[in-house]
Structure 1
Amino acid sequence: HRDVNLRVIYGPSQSLRKQIEEGAPVDIFLPSLFEEIDQLEAKGLIIQGTKRTFAATSLVLITGTTLPAPVSSIQDLQTTPIHRIAVGDPKTSSVGKVAAQFLKYSKLEPKLKSQYVLGEHSRAVLELVAKGEAEIGVVYRTDAVPNSAVRILDTAPVASHTPIRYGVAVAWTAQNISAAGDFIEFLLSHTTQTLLEDLGFDHVSPEAGVPQREEVKP
Protein backbone atom coordinates (compact mmCIF):
# COMPACT_ATOMS: atom_id res chain seq x y z
CA HIS A 1 0.00 0.00 0.00
CA ARG A 2 2.47 2.61 -1.15
CA ASP A 3 -0.41 5.02 -1.71
CA VAL A 4 -1.49 4.90 1.95
CA ASN A 5 -0.04 7.50 4.31
CA LEU A 6 0.04 6.03 7.81
CA ARG A 7 -0.28 8.38 10.78
CA VAL A 8 -0.04 6.93 14.29
CA ILE A 9 -1.66 8.72 17.23
CA TYR A 10 -0.45 7.62 20.67
CA GLY A 11 -2.29 8.15 23.94
CA PRO A 12 -4.18 6.49 26.79
CA SER A 13 -6.80 4.06 25.46
CA GLN A 14 -9.63 5.81 27.28
CA SER A 15 -8.69 9.20 25.82
CA LEU A 16 -8.44 7.79 22.29
CA ARG A 17 -11.82 6.10 22.68
CA LYS A 18 -13.42 9.37 23.73
CA GLN A 19 -11.91 11.10 20.69
CA ILE A 20 -13.49 8.47 18.44
CA GLU A 21 -16.83 8.92 20.22
CA GLU A 22 -16.58 12.64 19.48
CA GLY A 23 -15.98 12.00 15.78
CA ALA A 24 -12.20 12.17 15.42
CA PRO A 25 -11.13 10.92 11.94
CA VAL A 26 -9.63 7.58 12.99
CA ASP A 27 -9.48 4.51 10.76
CA ILE A 28 -8.13 1.86 13.14
CA PHE A 29 -8.34 1.63 16.93
CA LEU A 30 -5.74 -0.47 18.81
CA PRO A 31 -6.26 0.10 22.55
CA SER A 32 -4.29 -1.53 25.35
CA LEU A 33 -7.57 -2.74 26.87
CA PHE A 34 -9.94 -4.81 24.76
CA GLU A 35 -12.85 -3.46 26.79
CA GLU A 36 -12.40 -0.04 25.15
CA ILE A 37 -13.42 -1.60 21.82
CA ASP A 38 -16.38 -3.28 23.51
CA GLN A 39 -17.56 0.11 24.75
CA LEU A 40 -17.42 1.58 21.25
CA GLU A 41 -19.20 -1.45 19.83
CA ALA A 42 -22.00 -1.11 22.39
CA LYS A 43 -22.60 2.40 21.04
CA GLY A 44 -22.42 1.31 17.41
CA LEU A 45 -19.18 3.21 16.84
CA ILE A 46 -17.10 0.54 15.10
CA ILE A 47 -17.67 -1.00 11.68
CA GLN A 48 -19.61 -4.21 12.23
CA GLY A 49 -17.55 -7.38 11.86
CA THR A 50 -14.14 -5.72 12.18
CA LYS A 51 -13.46 -6.32 15.90
CA ARG A 52 -10.67 -8.88 16.21
CA THR A 53 -8.14 -10.13 18.73
CA PHE A 54 -4.69 -9.69 17.20
CA ALA A 55 -2.54 -10.56 20.22
CA ALA A 56 -2.78 -12.06 23.68
CA THR A 57 -0.45 -12.78 26.55
CA SER A 58 -0.34 -14.61 29.86
CA LEU A 59 0.37 -13.81 33.49
CA VAL A 60 3.65 -15.14 34.86
CA LEU A 61 5.51 -15.47 38.13
CA ILE A 62 9.04 -14.05 37.92
CA THR A 63 12.17 -13.78 40.03
CA GLY A 64 15.44 -11.91 39.63
CA THR A 65 18.45 -13.48 37.94
CA THR A 66 20.94 -12.25 40.55
CA LEU A 67 18.90 -12.99 43.70
CA PRO A 68 16.55 -15.84 42.74
CA ALA A 69 13.60 -16.68 44.99
CA PRO A 70 13.47 -19.96 46.97
CA VAL A 71 10.56 -21.16 44.82
CA SER A 72 10.30 -22.61 41.34
CA SER A 73 6.53 -22.71 40.80
CA ILE A 74 3.22 -21.22 41.86
CA GLN A 75 2.53 -24.36 43.88
CA ASP A 76 5.65 -23.69 46.00
CA LEU A 77 4.08 -20.45 47.25
CA GLN A 78 1.66 -22.53 49.32
CA THR A 79 4.45 -23.86 51.53
CA THR A 80 7.60 -21.76 51.04
CA PRO A 81 7.84 -18.46 52.98
CA ILE A 82 8.18 -15.35 50.82
CA HIS A 83 9.12 -12.01 52.35
CA ARG A 84 8.21 -9.61 49.52
CA ILE A 85 6.16 -10.10 46.35
CA ALA A 86 5.87 -7.31 43.79
CA VAL A 87 2.44 -6.86 42.20
CA GLY A 88 0.81 -4.08 40.23
CA ASP A 89 -1.47 -1.69 42.06
CA PRO A 90 -5.03 -2.64 41.00
CA LYS A 91 -6.01 1.04 41.25
CA THR A 92 -3.49 2.18 38.65
CA SER A 93 -2.68 -0.78 36.40
CA SER A 94 -4.44 -3.48 34.42
CA VAL A 95 -1.72 -5.99 35.38
CA GLY A 96 -2.53 -5.29 39.03
CA LYS A 97 -6.20 -6.10 38.48
CA VAL A 98 -5.36 -9.35 36.71
CA ALA A 99 -2.77 -10.32 39.34
CA ALA A 100 -5.36 -9.76 42.09
CA GLN A 101 -7.74 -12.13 40.31
CA PHE A 102 -5.03 -14.78 40.04
CA LEU A 103 -3.93 -14.51 43.68
CA LYS A 104 -7.53 -14.73 44.89
CA TYR A 105 -8.30 -17.69 42.61
CA SER A 106 -5.17 -19.52 43.79
CA LYS A 107 -6.10 -18.86 47.44
CA LEU A 108 -2.72 -17.17 47.91
CA GLU A 109 -4.06 -13.71 48.77
CA PRO A 110 -4.56 -14.30 52.53
CA LYS A 111 -1.08 -15.80 52.85
CA LEU A 112 0.82 -13.22 50.78
CA LYS A 113 -1.13 -9.95 51.08
CA SER A 114 1.00 -8.63 53.95
CA GLN A 115 4.09 -9.19 51.76
CA TYR A 116 2.80 -7.17 48.78
CA VAL A 117 5.04 -4.45 47.35
CA LEU A 118 2.89 -2.43 44.95
CA GLY A 119 4.15 -1.10 41.64
CA GLU A 120 2.32 1.61 39.71
CA HIS A 121 2.57 -0.41 36.49
CA SER A 122 4.17 -3.55 35.07
CA ARG A 123 7.57 -1.91 34.48
CA ALA A 124 7.68 -0.84 38.13
CA VAL A 125 7.00 -4.43 39.21
CA LEU A 126 9.81 -5.65 36.95
CA GLU A 127 12.20 -3.10 38.45
CA LEU A 128 11.35 -4.12 42.02
CA VAL A 129 12.20 -7.74 41.22
CA ALA A 130 15.26 -6.94 39.09
CA LYS A 131 16.76 -4.82 41.89
CA GLY A 132 16.10 -7.47 44.52
CA GLU A 133 13.56 -5.34 46.39
CA ALA A 134 11.09 -8.20 46.00
CA GLU A 135 11.85 -11.91 45.72
CA ILE A 136 9.14 -12.58 43.18
CA GLY A 137 6.67 -10.64 41.07
CA VAL A 138 3.60 -11.11 38.90
CA VAL A 139 3.65 -9.52 35.43
CA TYR A 140 2.61 -10.06 31.83
CA ARG A 141 4.80 -12.49 29.90
CA THR A 142 5.36 -9.84 27.24
CA ASP A 143 7.03 -7.58 29.81
CA ALA A 144 9.18 -10.35 31.28
CA VAL A 145 10.51 -11.96 28.08
CA PRO A 146 12.72 -9.04 26.88
CA ASN A 147 14.04 -8.25 30.38
CA SER A 148 17.32 -10.09 31.04
CA ALA A 149 17.27 -9.13 34.73
CA VAL A 150 14.31 -11.40 35.50
CA ARG A 151 13.46 -15.04 34.91
CA ILE A 152 10.03 -16.64 34.43
CA LEU A 153 9.24 -19.30 37.02
CA ASP A 154 5.70 -20.31 36.15
CA THR A 155 2.56 -19.35 34.24
CA ALA A 156 -0.77 -18.60 35.91
CA PRO A 157 -3.61 -20.94 34.91
CA VAL A 158 -5.84 -19.55 32.18
CA ALA A 159 -8.91 -19.96 34.39
CA SER A 160 -7.38 -17.87 37.19
CA HIS A 161 -7.95 -14.49 35.53
CA THR A 162 -9.78 -12.70 32.74
CA PRO A 163 -8.21 -13.16 29.29
CA ILE A 164 -5.34 -10.78 28.56
CA ARG A 165 -5.95 -9.86 24.95
CA TYR A 166 -5.31 -6.99 22.59
CA GLY A 167 -7.94 -6.00 20.09
CA VAL A 168 -8.30 -3.97 16.93
CA ALA A 169 -11.32 -2.59 15.11
CA VAL A 170 -12.22 -0.17 12.34
CA ALA A 171 -13.74 3.00 13.78
CA TRP A 172 -17.02 4.45 12.53
CA THR A 173 -15.12 7.56 11.41
CA ALA A 174 -12.83 5.55 9.10
CA GLN A 175 -12.12 7.23 5.78
CA ASN A 176 -10.38 4.23 4.19
CA ILE A 177 -12.22 1.12 5.34
CA SER A 178 -10.59 -1.11 2.72
CA ALA A 179 -7.02 -0.25 3.77
CA ALA A 180 -8.02 -0.53 7.44
CA GLY A 181 -9.27 -4.05 6.80
CA ASP A 182 -6.03 -4.93 5.03
CA PHE A 183 -4.07 -3.68 8.05
CA ILE A 184 -6.05 -5.94 10.37
CA GLU A 185 -5.33 -8.91 8.11
CA PHE A 186 -1.65 -7.94 8.24
CA LEU A 187 -1.75 -8.06 12.05
CA LEU A 188 -3.22 -11.57 11.86
CA SER A 189 -0.79 -12.78 9.19
CA HIS A 190 1.69 -15.56 9.89
CA THR A 191 4.65 -13.16 9.59
CA THR A 192 3.29 -10.71 12.15
CA GLN A 193 2.11 -13.43 14.52
CA THR A 194 5.58 -15.01 14.46
CA LEU A 195 7.15 -11.68 15.40
CA LEU A 196 4.64 -11.22 18.23
CA GLU A 197 5.33 -14.72 19.55
CA ASP A 198 9.05 -13.90 19.67
CA LEU A 199 8.15 -10.95 21.91
CA GLY A 200 6.20 -13.14 24.33
CA PHE A 201 2.69 -12.88 22.91
CA ASP A 202 0.47 -15.93 22.51
CA HIS A 203 -0.50 -17.27 19.10
CA VAL A 204 -3.77 -15.94 17.69
CA SER A 205 -5.88 -17.82 15.17
CA PRO A 206 -6.11 -15.81 11.91
CA GLU A 207 -9.59 -17.19 11.23
CA ALA A 208 -11.31 -16.20 14.45
CA GLY A 209 -8.85 -13.82 16.05
CA VAL A 210 -9.09 -15.90 19.23
CA PRO A 211 -5.95 -16.60 21.28
CA GLN A 212 -4.74 -20.19 21.21
CA ARG A 213 -2.41 -21.16 24.06
CA GLU A 214 -1.23 -24.43 25.49
CA GLU A 215 -1.21 -24.61 29.28
CA VAL A 216 2.47 -25.33 29.82
CA LYS A 217 5.20 -23.98 32.01
CA PRO A 218 7.93 -21.87 30.38
Structure 2
Amino acid sequence: MRNSHRPLRRALLIAGAAMLAVCSNARADELIVSAAASLTNAFKAIGEAYEQQHPGTKVLLNFGASDVLMRQIAKGAPADVFASADQKAMDKAVEEKVVDPATRRDFAANALVLIVPADSRFTPATLKDLTSADIRRVAYGDPASVPIGRYAQGALQAAGVWDAVSAKSVLASNVRQSLDYVSRGEVDAGFVFATDAAIMPDRVKVALTVPTQTAVTYPIALVEGSRHASDAKAFIAYVLSADGQAVLAKYGFKPAGAAH
Protein backbone atom coordinates (compact mmCIF):
# COMPACT_ATOMS: atom_id res chain seq x y z
CA MET A 1 0.00 0.00 0.00
CA ARG A 2 1.41 3.37 -0.92
CA ASN A 3 1.48 6.25 1.51
CA SER A 4 -1.68 8.16 0.67
CA HIS A 5 -3.94 11.02 1.61
CA ARG A 6 -7.58 9.98 1.50
CA PRO A 7 -9.43 13.07 0.36
CA LEU A 8 -12.06 14.51 2.68
CA ARG A 9 -14.42 14.71 -0.29
CA ARG A 10 -14.35 10.92 -0.66
CA ALA A 11 -14.98 10.49 3.05
CA LEU A 12 -17.93 12.87 2.82
CA LEU A 13 -19.39 10.93 -0.09
CA ILE A 14 -19.05 7.64 1.76
CA ALA A 15 -20.60 9.07 4.91
CA GLY A 16 -23.35 10.63 2.82
CA ALA A 17 -24.22 7.28 1.28
CA ALA A 18 -24.27 5.67 4.71
CA MET A 19 -26.46 8.45 6.07
CA LEU A 20 -28.91 8.08 3.20
CA ALA A 21 -29.05 4.34 3.77
CA VAL A 22 -29.81 4.88 7.45
CA CYS A 23 -32.38 7.59 6.87
CA SER A 24 -34.15 6.51 3.68
CA ASN A 25 -36.88 4.64 5.51
CA ALA A 26 -36.97 6.74 8.67
CA ARG A 27 -40.40 7.07 10.24
CA ALA A 28 -41.83 9.49 12.76
CA ASP A 29 -40.96 7.17 15.66
CA GLU A 30 -37.32 6.67 14.61
CA LEU A 31 -34.48 8.49 16.33
CA ILE A 32 -31.34 9.07 14.23
CA VAL A 33 -28.07 9.09 16.16
CA SER A 34 -24.86 10.06 14.33
CA ALA A 35 -21.87 8.90 16.36
CA ALA A 36 -18.11 8.56 16.12
CA ALA A 37 -16.88 5.27 14.64
CA SER A 38 -15.17 4.30 17.89
CA LEU A 39 -18.59 4.21 19.57
CA THR A 40 -19.95 1.56 17.19
CA ASN A 41 -20.10 -1.42 19.55
CA ALA A 42 -21.06 0.51 22.67
CA PHE A 43 -23.78 2.58 21.00
CA LYS A 44 -25.32 -0.47 19.34
CA ALA A 45 -25.76 -1.92 22.81
CA ILE A 46 -26.99 1.40 24.20
CA GLY A 47 -29.46 1.73 21.33
CA GLU A 48 -30.90 -1.72 22.04
CA ALA A 49 -31.17 -1.00 25.76
CA TYR A 50 -32.84 2.35 25.09
CA GLU A 51 -35.38 0.73 22.77
CA GLN A 52 -36.29 -1.78 25.47
CA GLN A 53 -37.07 1.09 27.83
CA HIS A 54 -38.86 3.09 25.10
CA PRO A 55 -40.89 0.52 23.10
CA GLY A 56 -42.33 3.20 20.82
CA THR A 57 -38.94 4.38 19.55
CA LYS A 58 -36.52 2.82 17.05
CA VAL A 59 -32.91 4.04 17.25
CA LEU A 60 -31.15 4.35 13.88
CA LEU A 61 -27.38 4.54 14.25
CA ASN A 62 -25.02 6.19 11.78
CA PHE A 63 -21.28 5.82 12.44
CA GLY A 64 -18.28 7.54 10.87
CA ALA A 65 -15.54 10.10 11.36
CA SER A 66 -16.84 12.85 13.66
CA ASP A 67 -16.07 15.78 11.34
CA VAL A 68 -17.59 14.01 8.34
CA LEU A 69 -20.81 13.28 10.22
CA MET A 70 -20.98 16.88 11.41
CA ARG A 71 -20.60 18.21 7.87
CA GLN A 72 -23.30 15.88 6.58
CA ILE A 73 -25.70 17.16 9.24
CA ALA A 74 -24.73 20.75 8.41
CA LYS A 75 -25.68 20.03 4.79
CA GLY A 76 -29.13 18.87 5.83
CA ALA A 77 -28.81 15.14 6.45
CA PRO A 78 -31.41 14.03 9.02
CA ALA A 79 -30.09 13.51 12.55
CA ASP A 80 -31.35 14.01 16.07
CA VAL A 81 -28.26 13.35 18.21
CA PHE A 82 -24.56 13.93 17.48
CA ALA A 83 -21.82 12.22 19.49
CA SER A 84 -18.21 13.13 18.72
CA ALA A 85 -14.85 11.54 19.58
CA ASP A 86 -13.26 14.88 20.39
CA GLN A 87 -14.12 18.39 21.48
CA LYS A 88 -12.91 20.02 18.27
CA ALA A 89 -15.55 18.34 16.12
CA MET A 90 -18.26 19.37 18.58
CA ASP A 91 -16.84 22.91 18.72
CA LYS A 92 -17.24 23.06 14.94
CA ALA A 93 -20.79 21.76 15.26
CA VAL A 94 -21.58 24.56 17.71
CA GLU A 95 -19.93 27.20 15.51
CA GLU A 96 -21.94 26.06 12.48
CA LYS A 97 -25.14 25.88 14.56
CA VAL A 98 -25.47 22.16 13.92
CA VAL A 99 -26.23 21.37 17.57
CA ASP A 100 -27.93 23.04 20.52
CA PRO A 101 -25.00 24.08 22.76
CA ALA A 102 -27.20 24.08 25.86
CA THR A 103 -27.56 20.30 25.54
CA ARG A 104 -23.85 19.56 25.10
CA ARG A 105 -22.46 17.11 27.66
CA ASP A 106 -19.27 15.04 27.97
CA PHE A 107 -20.21 11.38 28.46
CA ALA A 108 -17.06 9.26 28.13
CA ALA A 109 -13.26 9.24 28.02
CA ASN A 110 -10.77 7.08 26.17
CA ALA A 111 -7.04 6.68 25.59
CA LEU A 112 -4.80 6.87 22.53
CA VAL A 113 -2.79 3.72 21.87
CA LEU A 114 -0.24 2.60 19.31
CA ILE A 115 -0.92 -0.90 18.00
CA VAL A 116 0.97 -3.37 15.84
CA PRO A 117 -0.13 -6.65 14.22
CA ALA A 118 -0.31 -9.49 16.75
CA ASP A 119 2.50 -11.35 14.97
CA SER A 120 4.74 -8.30 14.59
CA ARG A 121 8.44 -8.97 15.21
CA PHE A 122 9.11 -5.34 16.07
CA THR A 123 7.21 -3.62 18.86
CA PRO A 124 7.97 0.10 19.30
CA ALA A 125 8.89 1.01 22.87
CA THR A 126 8.59 4.77 22.26
CA LEU A 127 7.09 7.01 19.60
CA LYS A 128 10.62 7.72 18.39
CA ASP A 129 10.89 4.05 17.45
CA LEU A 130 8.38 4.76 14.68
CA THR A 131 11.24 6.46 12.80
CA SER A 132 13.03 3.08 12.61
CA ALA A 133 13.53 1.38 9.26
CA ASP A 134 11.55 -1.54 10.71
CA ILE A 135 8.45 0.65 10.52
CA ARG A 136 7.58 1.48 6.91
CA ARG A 137 3.88 2.34 7.15
CA VAL A 138 1.92 3.91 10.00
CA ALA A 139 -1.88 4.26 9.95
CA TYR A 140 -3.95 6.95 11.63
CA GLY A 141 -7.00 8.98 10.77
CA ASP A 142 -6.69 12.04 8.58
CA PRO A 143 -6.16 14.91 11.06
CA ALA A 144 -8.29 17.15 8.85
CA SER A 145 -11.43 15.14 9.56
CA VAL A 146 -10.79 12.36 12.07
CA PRO A 147 -10.27 12.88 15.82
CA ILE A 148 -7.85 9.95 16.20
CA GLY A 149 -5.65 11.65 13.61
CA ARG A 150 -5.64 14.89 15.56
CA TYR A 151 -4.74 13.12 18.79
CA ALA A 152 -1.96 11.20 17.01
CA GLN A 153 -0.58 14.31 15.34
CA GLY A 154 -0.44 16.16 18.65
CA ALA A 155 1.39 13.28 20.33
CA LEU A 156 3.87 12.87 17.49
CA GLN A 157 4.57 16.58 17.38
CA ALA A 158 5.18 16.60 21.14
CA ALA A 159 7.63 13.73 20.68
CA GLY A 160 9.41 15.61 17.89
CA VAL A 161 8.81 12.91 15.27
CA TRP A 162 5.80 14.21 13.35
CA ASP A 163 7.69 15.00 10.13
CA ALA A 164 9.41 11.60 10.04
CA VAL A 165 6.30 9.59 10.87
CA SER A 166 3.89 11.55 8.67
CA ALA A 167 6.14 10.68 5.72
CA LYS A 168 5.19 7.04 6.35
CA SER A 169 1.51 7.73 6.86
CA VAL A 170 -1.41 5.73 5.53
CA LEU A 171 -4.40 7.93 6.29
CA ALA A 172 -7.64 6.29 7.36
CA SER A 173 -11.14 7.69 6.88
CA ASN A 174 -12.01 6.76 10.50
CA VAL A 175 -10.48 5.00 13.48
CA ARG A 176 -11.93 1.60 12.61
CA GLN A 177 -10.22 1.71 9.22
CA SER A 178 -6.91 2.36 10.99
CA LEU A 179 -7.62 -0.69 13.15
CA ASP A 180 -8.40 -2.78 10.07
CA TYR A 181 -5.16 -1.78 8.35
CA VAL A 182 -3.15 -3.00 11.34
CA SER A 183 -5.20 -6.15 11.92
CA ARG A 184 -4.67 -7.21 8.30
CA GLY A 185 -0.93 -6.50 8.46
CA GLU A 186 -1.19 -3.86 5.72
CA VAL A 187 0.75 -1.40 7.90
CA ASP A 188 3.43 -1.91 10.53
CA ALA A 189 1.74 0.17 13.23
CA GLY A 190 -1.28 2.38 13.75
CA PHE A 191 -3.01 4.71 16.15
CA VAL A 192 -6.45 3.84 17.53
CA PHE A 193 -8.35 4.30 20.76
CA ALA A 194 -7.89 1.76 23.56
CA THR A 195 -11.49 0.61 23.12
CA ASP A 196 -10.89 -0.16 19.44
CA ALA A 197 -7.77 -2.22 20.13
CA ALA A 198 -9.74 -4.23 22.70
CA ILE A 199 -12.17 -5.62 20.12
CA MET A 200 -9.38 -7.44 18.21
CA PRO A 201 -7.07 -8.82 20.92
CA ASP A 202 -6.16 -11.82 18.76
CA ARG A 203 -5.15 -9.71 15.75
CA VAL A 204 -3.48 -6.63 17.19
CA LYS A 205 -1.43 -5.87 20.28
CA VAL A 206 -0.96 -2.60 22.10
CA ALA A 207 2.63 -1.40 21.95
CA LEU A 208 2.12 1.88 23.79
CA THR A 209 -0.48 3.87 25.62
CA VAL A 210 0.28 7.34 24.28
CA PRO A 211 -0.02 10.54 26.33
CA THR A 212 -2.16 13.12 24.50
CA GLN A 213 -1.92 16.90 24.40
CA THR A 214 -5.62 17.16 25.19
CA ALA A 215 -7.80 14.70 27.10
CA VAL A 216 -9.65 12.14 24.97
CA THR A 217 -13.24 13.00 25.83
CA TYR A 218 -16.52 12.43 24.01
CA PRO A 219 -19.26 15.11 23.88
CA ILE A 220 -22.89 14.53 22.86
CA ALA A 221 -25.59 17.05 21.93
CA LEU A 222 -29.05 17.53 20.45
CA VAL A 223 -29.03 18.39 16.76
CA GLU A 224 -30.60 21.77 15.97
CA GLY A 225 -33.95 21.42 14.25
CA SER A 226 -34.46 17.82 15.37
CA ARG A 227 -38.01 16.68 14.77
CA HIS A 228 -37.67 14.33 17.73
CA ALA A 229 -36.19 16.69 20.30
CA SER A 230 -37.93 15.08 23.25
CA ASP A 231 -36.73 11.58 22.34
CA ALA A 232 -33.28 12.92 21.50
CA LYS A 233 -32.96 14.53 24.93
CA ALA A 234 -34.17 11.32 26.54
CA PHE A 235 -31.52 9.34 24.63
CA ILE A 236 -28.78 11.75 25.76
CA ALA A 237 -30.05 11.42 29.32
CA TYR A 238 -29.87 7.64 29.01
CA VAL A 239 -26.26 7.78 27.77
CA LEU A 240 -25.42 9.91 30.82
CA SER A 241 -27.40 7.72 33.23
CA ALA A 242 -25.95 4.97 35.41
CA ASP A 243 -27.32 2.35 33.00
CA GLY A 244 -25.81 4.04 29.95
CA GLN A 245 -22.48 4.56 31.69
CA ALA A 246 -22.43 0.88 32.67
CA VAL A 247 -22.75 -0.12 29.01
CA LEU A 248 -19.94 2.23 28.04
CA ALA A 249 -17.76 0.81 30.82
CA LYS A 250 -18.44 -2.70 29.53
CA TYR A 251 -16.87 -1.67 26.22
CA GLY A 252 -13.84 -0.10 27.89
CA PHE A 253 -14.83 3.55 28.04
CA LYS A 254 -14.00 5.55 31.15
CA PRO A 255 -16.25 8.18 32.77
CA ALA A 256 -15.77 11.63 31.27
CA GLY A 257 -14.45 12.89 34.60
CA ALA A 258 -11.65 10.29 34.52
CA ALA A 259 -9.92 11.97 31.56
CA HIS A 260 -6.50 13.39 32.36
After TM superposition, the score normalised by the length of structure 2 is 0.62
- Give the distance between the partners of 1:164 and 1:15, measured in 2 at CA: 23
Per-residue CA deviations over 1:12-48 (Å, capped at 9, x if unaligned) read 331123327xxx6x54333556445434434666445
Contact in 1 for aligned 2:148/2:192 (Cα 8 Å) = yes
Indicate which of 141, 144, 153 corresponds to 2:207. 153
Instruction: Rate the CA distance shift 1:204–1:96 in 2: closer, same or farther, 3 A.
Output: closer
AA aligned to 1:213 is: A
Instruction: Rate the CA distance shift 1:139–1:48 in 2: closer, same or farther, 3 A.
Output: closer
Contact in 2 for aligned 1:87/1:99 (Cα 8 Å) = no
Query: What are structure 2's unaligned runs of at least 5 residues?
Result: 1-52, 64-68
Contact in 2 for aligned 1:55/1:196 (Cα 8 Å) = yes
% of aligned pairs identical? Answer: 23
Per-residue CA deviations over 1:95-119 (Å, capped at 9, x if unaligned) read 22331221111112244444x1413
Report the counterpart of residue 65 of structure 1 in structure 2: 118
Query: What are structure 1's unaligned runs of at least 5 residues?
Result: 206-211
Shift of 1:58: 1.9
Indicate which of 85, 100, 105 corresponds to 1:52. 105
Across the aligned residues of Structure 1 and Structure 2, the Cα RMSD in angstroms comes to 3.3
- Give the distance between the partners of 1:54 and 1:96, measured in 2 at CA: 21
Shift of 1:180: 3.2
SS in 1 for 2:149: helix
Indicate which of 76, 97, 102 corresponds to 2:155. 102
Report the counterpart of residue 76 of structure 2 in structure 1: 19
After TM superposition, the score normalised by the length of structure 1 is 0.71
**Matched ranges for 1:1-218 at <5 A:** 2=54, 4-8=56-60, 10=62, 12-19=69-76, 27-31=80-84, 34-42=87-95, 46-47=99-100, 49-71=102-124, 73-74=125-126, 77=129, 82-88=134-140, 89-91=142-144, 93-114=146-167, 116-121=168-173, 122-148=175-201, 149-159=203-213, 162-175=214-227, 177-205=229-257, 212-213=258-259
Shift of 1:132: 3.2
